[in-house]
Amino acid sequence: MLALSGMRTRWITFVGSFVALALGVGLIAATGLALAATFDAPERGPERFAAAPVVVRAADHLRVDTPTGTRTKPLDHPGPVGPRTADRLAALGRTVEDRTFPADVTAAPTGPDAKAARTGADAKQPRTGLDVTAARSGPDAKAARIGADAKQPRTGPDVTAARSGADAKPPRTGPGTTAARTGADAGKSRPGQDAEARVGHPWPVAAAAPYRLTSGRAPAAPGEVVVTTRPGGAPLRTGDRVLVRTPAGNGPRTVVGTVAGRGFEDAVFFTDDEAARISPDIDALVVHADATAVRRALGPDSGMDVLTGHDRRRADPDPDRDARALVSVNALLGTAAGITLFVSAAVVASTFSFAVAQRRREFGLLRTAGATPGQIRRTVCAEAVLVGVLASAAGVWLGAEGAPLLVGRMTGAGLAPPWFALGDASWPLHTAFWTGVFVATAGALVSCHRAGRTAPTEALREAAVDSRVMPASRWAAAVLVLLAGLGLPALALAVDPGDLLGRKSYITRPMLLVVGFALLAPVLVRPVGRLLTWLPARLPGATGVLVRENTAAGVRRTAAVAAPVLITVALAATLTGTVATLEEARAAESRTATTADFVVTSGQEGRPMAPAFVERARAVEGAVVSASRSTAVTVLEEDTALVTSEARAVDPARLAAVSELPVTAGRLSDLDDGAIVVNEEWLTTRVGDRVTVWLGDGRKASLRIAAVLATGTGDNGVYVTRRNAGGAGVDRIDVKVAEGADRRAVAAALQSAGAATGTRVTTRAEWLAATGPGTNDQTGTGLRMILGIALLCTATALANTLVMATSDRVRDLAVLRLAGATAPQVLRLVAAEAVVAVGVGAVLGGVVAAVNLLVVWGALVLLGVMSAVVVPWGTLGLVVAAAALLAAVSAVLPASLALRTRPVELAGARE
């Protein structure tokens, strides 16, 4: 009853706590519901081979037996189905060979453009000569098989390419991709007409999906194709003439039929013979026979997978795309939920602490009336539990209603795939409810202890000066938390600096320092407040002096206002500053390591460059050309874990001409077919030692360490030679103009080769600009979402605390009026005090952010990257300005309402 009576009397205090906690619980519930939906990707059945009885393809996973069991890893470039295997299986029943290769489609040019499109090495798809040779022989033979539905990145969105020096790869999203792509923006056959990226197959395999003709007929001769149609796609119809760009060259084709698209690919179907000419290797084999007989014919060690039933999905284009798309969503929502919980707990604890400090005279009166310390503590705890239950229930309702809106905004902003939707999980609502109750109760525990220690003499206090605001227990807690917040990064700098650059580290690390500074806020408020008010106090008038003295006297009030600002400023500066600093560091690495004059990339992950362009670039007079391939190597660490590293396959003789890699030991010139270049993250880093690795196609090799690179930002990957590329095609070319050569002539020759093959050639400056800081829009959107959540909690806490504080100072305001101050002067004073409190929080938050950014900078220096720290002044300015405006409004509104009452009546009022 006493708790209910107190809540009715001081409803302003508890309304603020209620709103802050309900909002926090609502955000946790909403993010929890969305997070639960990321745990399971949609269950999809087979797509490309849904009507195939048996599909045989090369094993796409590496399997290694270890003392602790069999370990598996996806292969970067699974091999083809060999001709002997195909012949053996043909004896069991009818077989259909599947081939996959890029086949970009553009409306066929007419007039003079048509002649231009048919000239050069790429015209009319010659069956002999340069292009066919390039497509059929050597490591580039398999280039044709990696197209729009080829194997995608091996892990989630956090996987970064092995970008280092001349062999760097552009980001897969954002402006970097647009600038570098070779399809839509480059090699246009007609001005204003973009090529549509598609994937080619032989027509006989269309029945395995199955695709059905909706118009026309099947292709029967070279130059005839069937295309898929889809809403919003190119309006292709039977009889259209199109220009199709394949690895074997460009040439006009006639659309003789169309099939309805099935959603997982945009395809172009050729005759079986023409598809075999374009891409000689067999990617998969459809076998119309019993699966048991197929397995028996292959034998146990064939290296082939026999897929039936639901397993046929493994042969689909990028079968893990749904699960991989949810990895970044899961990380974003988990981070948002964690930050929401942290901010909510800090806000509630600060609010209850300030509320107890305001009620000292009330508790003193209760003690005078005979209440025991235990009764006071139980009263405060009961109030906290009651507020916690009611606010948590309201928050759960808000979360359930807001979760669909959150998911809709995420899909609309591209943070989640379009098909992402809420599930039917209810556990996030239960978790959010009990979390809210726990946060409210835990936040009041320390305040309960202090309330129970209130002496009866507090009822006689008239001064509003805070004394002994830091008990010994709070000192001890603050020191321990600060030691942990500073000691853990120091230990990481000494042992593993690279660990400090991980997302989990730079998101969670600031929280310890935030808590430590928040605990010390009552001690830091006075000196920081006096620093901020030093100049105003020396200006004419009494406002500056009063702001300085009131800030120093009302330590608890100032600390309660500063705490949420401290949290938000620290998080905003640390998160955005760290991301921007790491982006700048990666850009600095690229600028330092890449010395090429021109950089050409395939533009699409997993898609190789046109072999014709590679050969033409190599033939340009005065150009030093370094072609490289994206691949991977896997190593078994400590006989327990398979670890896959991104790698580049390069020509060592050409690499040195176009790059300056950060070598810490050994020499790049010693790289050969029996050697490997590793980075300092590897367990074995002694030059000359041999390491056992598995290449991108699963082959096992023992390679000698030729050189070791600095770890850097984590993008300094592994280097091997072309022989160890695992079947990868060229996806990047770095060109250096030879000494004495004509740069303009080289540029013109490269541009001409690019126009003929649909490849965009960029200068080094253009490539650096496209891959520089700020190119990942999804990262920025995710950060803005997280900071928006923190700012929302901060706004609630600021408004709540200032309304409580101003409402409790009506007598002080009346005394100022009786002393001769006008109402506008009093309101300006209240607003100035609120702004100074926000400034205190901003300064303390800035100190926390500075420490964290210095830790990141120190880690980069130790990893061999010399880059400046990027301070997000714009973001900080917006956050502080918004907090100051909200604080001023929240303080002025209740003060203006209070000033409507006659000062004499307010001065004589009692609590």
Closest CA to 719 of 137, 168, 315, 336: 168
Instruction: Report how far residue 836's alpha carbon sits from residue 831's, in angstroms, rounded to the nearest whole number.
Output: 9
The CA radius of gyration of the chain, in Å to the nearest whole number, is 34
Say what the pLDDT of residue 58 is. Answer: 92
Least confident of 148-162, 241-255, 299-313, 755-769: 148-162
Q: What is the largest CA-CA distance in the chain?
A: 107
Alpha helix (H) residue ranges in 212-320: 272-278, 291-298
pTM of the model: 0.76
> pLDDT grade, residue 906 (50/70/90)?
low
Cα atoms in the 13 Å half-sphere on the side-chain side of 608: 32
Q: Identify the three-state secondary structure at position 712.
A: coil
| Percentage of residues of the chain with pLDDT beyond 90 | 37
Residue 189 pLDDT > 60: no
Q: Identify the three-state secondary structure at position 721.
A: strand
Q: What is the mean pLDDT of the chain?
A: 81
- Tell the residue number behind the tokens 């020096």, with chain if given: 165
Closest CA to 851 of 444, 474, 643, 573: 573
Burial class for 449, CB neighbours closer than 10 Å (0-12, 13-18, 19+): middle
> pLDDT grade, residue 151 (50/70/90)?
very low
Of 534 and 359, more confident: 534
Q: Average pLDDT for residues 530-559, to the nearest whole number?
A: 86
Say what the pLDDT of residue 156 is. Answer: 34
Residue 227 pLDDT > 50: yes
Q: How many CB atoms lie within 10 A of CB 868?
A: 11
Alpha helix (H) residue ranges in 102-190: 112-117, 130-136, 175-180
Instruction: Report how far residue 809's alpha carbon sits from residue 654's, in angstroms, rounded to the nearest whole number.
Output: 76
Say what the pLDDT of residue 905 is. Answer: 60
The one-letter amino acid at 77: H
Least confident of 228-242, 265-279, 824-838: 228-242
Are residues 312 and 52 in contact, defined by beta-carbon separation less than 8 angstroms?
yes
Closest CA to 28 of 389, 415, 430, 349: 430
Residue 72 pLDDT > 60: yes
As a dihedral over the C-alpha atoms of residue 586, residue 632, residue 54, residue 325, rounded to 10 degrees, the angle is -20
Strands (E), 67-175: 69-74, 95-98, 101-102, 104-107
Cα 873 from chain centroid (whole Å) = 22
Provide the token pair at 435. 């979390």
Instruction: Report how far residue 183's alpha carbon sits from residue 609's, in angstroms, rounded to the nearest whole number.
Output: 10
Instruction: Report how far residue 698's alpha carbon sits from residue 98's, in angstroms, rounded to the nearest whole number.
Output: 21
Q: How many CB atoms lie within 10 A of CB 593?
A: 22
H or E element at residue 719: strand 718-721
Angle between helices 543-553 and 823-862 (to 10 degrees): 60
> pLDDT grade, residue 119 (50/70/90)?
very low
Say what the pLDDT of residue 349 is. Answer: 75
Say what the pLDDT of residue 780 is. Answer: 74
> pLDDT grade, residue 12 (50/70/90)?
low
Instruction: Report how far residue 803's alpha carbon sits from residue 890's, in angstroms, rounded to the nearest whole number.
Output: 6
Residue 126 pLDDT > 50: no
H or E element at residue 799: helix 777-807
Residue 546 pLDDT > 80: yes
Q: Average pLDDT for residues 384-403, to the nearest whole number?
A: 91
Say what the pLDDT of residue 256 is. Answer: 96
The domain ranges of the chain are 1-44+319-462, 47-98+285-315, 100-148+198-280, 593-770
Say what the pLDDT of residue 675 is. Answer: 96
Of 154 and 571, more confident: 571
Closest CA to 849 of 876, 831, 868: 876
> pLDDT grade, residue 453 (50/70/90)?
low
The one-letter amino acid at 898: A
Say what the pLDDT of residue 452 is. Answer: 60
Instruction: Report how far residue 469's alpha carbon sits from residue 555's, in angstroms, rounded to the nearest whole number.
Output: 8
Q: Average pLDDT for residues 477-485, to the nearest whole number?
A: 91
Say what the pLDDT of residue 177 is. Answer: 32
In DSSP notation, 654-684 reads HHHHHB---EEEE-GGG--TTEEEEETTSS-
Residue 369 phi/psi, 5° resolution? -75, -5
Say what the pLDDT of residue 116 is. Answer: 43
Instruction: Report how far residue 655's alpha carbon sits from residue 750's, in angstroms, rounded to the nearest whole number.
Output: 19
Q: Average pLDDT for residues 507-518, to the nearest whole number?
A: 86
Residue 276 pLDDT > 50: yes
Of 155 and 641, more confident: 641
Are residues 163 and 661 in contact, defined by beta-carbon separation less than 8 angstroms?
no
Closest CA to 171 of 875, 610, 779: 779
> pLDDT grade, residue 165 (50/70/90)?
very low
What are the angstrom distances between the C-alpha of 411 and each of 174, 414, 778? Answer: 16, 5, 11
Instruction: Report how far residue 864's alpha carbon sits from residue 589's, in angstroms, rounded to the nearest whole number.
Output: 10
In DSSP notation, 196-224 reads BP-EEEEGGGGGGTT--EEEE----STTE
User: What is the DSSP-derived secondary structure letter of residue 104?
Assistant: E
The one-letter amino acid at 524: L
Q: Average pLDDT for residues 822-832, to the nearest whole number?
A: 89
Residue 788 pLDDT > 50: yes
Cα 805 from chain centroid (whole Å) = 40
Task: Render pLDDT for 396-435 as a digit per residue (tens, 0 to 9).
Answer: 999 999 999 999 988 888 888 888 888 888 999 999 999 8
Instruction: Report how far residue 388's alpha carbon sits from residue 3's, in angstroms, rounded to the nearest whole number.
Output: 13
Residue 296 pLDDT > 70: yes
User: What is the DSSP-derived secondary structure letter of residue 312?
Assistant: G
> pLDDT grade, residue 186 (50/70/90)?
very low
What are the angstrom distances between the C-alpha of 372 and each of 360, 363, 765, 836? Answer: 15, 10, 75, 38
> pLDDT grade, residue 902 (50/70/90)?
low
- CA-based angle 567:571:577, to the nearest 5? 145
Say what the pLDDT of residue 112 is. Answer: 47
Are residues 442 and 390 in contact, defined by beta-carbon separation less than 8 angstroms?
no
Say what the pLDDT of residue 109 is. Answer: 57
Q: How many CB atoms lie within 10 A of CB 491?
A: 11
Q: How many CB atoms lie within 10 A of CB 286?
A: 23
Burial class for 308, CB neighbours closer than 10 Å (0-12, 13-18, 19+): middle
Burial class for 628, CB neighbours closer than 10 Å (0-12, 13-18, 19+): buried
Say what the pLDDT of residue 190 is. Answer: 36
Are residues 616 and 163 in contact, defined by beta-carbon separation less than 8 angstroms?
no
Instruction: Report how far residue 583's alpha carbon sits from residue 426's, in angstroms, rounded to the nearest whole number.
Output: 39
Phi-psi sector, 161: left (phi>0), alpha (psi -120 to 50), beta: beta
Beta strand pairing status for 641-650 and 718-721? Answer: parallel
Instruction: Report how far residue 758's alpha carbon sits from residue 736's, in angstroms, rounded to the nearest whole number.
Output: 21
Task: Render pLDDT for 302-349 as a digit per residue (tens, 0 to 9).
Answer: 889 999 999 999 998 888 888 888 888 888 888 888 888 887 777 777
Alpha helix (H) residue ranges in 10-129: 11-36, 83-90, 112-117
Residue 681 pLDDT > 90: no
Say what the pLDDT of residue 113 is. Answer: 46
Are residues 190 and 107 in contact, defined by beta-carbon separation less than 8 angstroms?
yes
Say what the pLDDT of residue 336 is. Answer: 83
What are the angstrom distances between the C-alpha of 672 and each of 140, 190, 679, 724? Answer: 19, 44, 17, 10
Q: Average pLDDT for residues 804-826, to the nearest whole number?
A: 79
Residue 219 pLDDT > 90: yes
Q: How many CB atoms lie within 10 A of CB 40?
A: 12
Are residues 593 and 885 in contact, defined by beta-carbon separation less than 8 angstroms?
no
| Percentage of residues of the chain with pLDDT beyond 70 | 82
Partners of 304 in the β-ladder: 58
Of 27 and 193, more confident: 27
> pLDDT grade, residue 240 (50/70/90)?
very high
1-4: long-range contacts at Cβ-Cβ below 8 A with a sequence spacing of 24 or more?
2/375, 2/379, 3/379, 3/382, 3/383, 3/386, 4/386
Task: Render pLDDT for 860-900 as a digit per residue (tens, 0 to 9).
Answer: 998 888 888 999 999 899 999 999 999 999 889 888 887 77
Please confirm whether the linkage preceding 903 is cis (ω < 30° from 0). Answer: no
What are the angstrom distances between the C-alpha of 689 and each of 537, 675, 701? Answer: 70, 10, 14
> pLDDT grade, residue 542 (50/70/90)?
confident
Provide the token pair at 522. 């009552």
Closest CA to 548 of 531, 573, 566: 531
Instruction: Report how far residue 571's alpha carbon sits from residue 507's, in angstroms, rounded to the nearest whole number.
Output: 8
Closest CA to 564 of 253, 300, 789, 231: 789
Of 335 and 174, more confident: 335
Residue 206 pLDDT > 90: yes
Provide the token pair at 392. 């948590």
Q: Identify the three-state secondary structure at position 232.
A: coil
> pLDDT grade, residue 147 (50/70/90)?
very low
Provide the token pair at 135. 């497509």
Say what the pLDDT of residue 770 is. Answer: 81
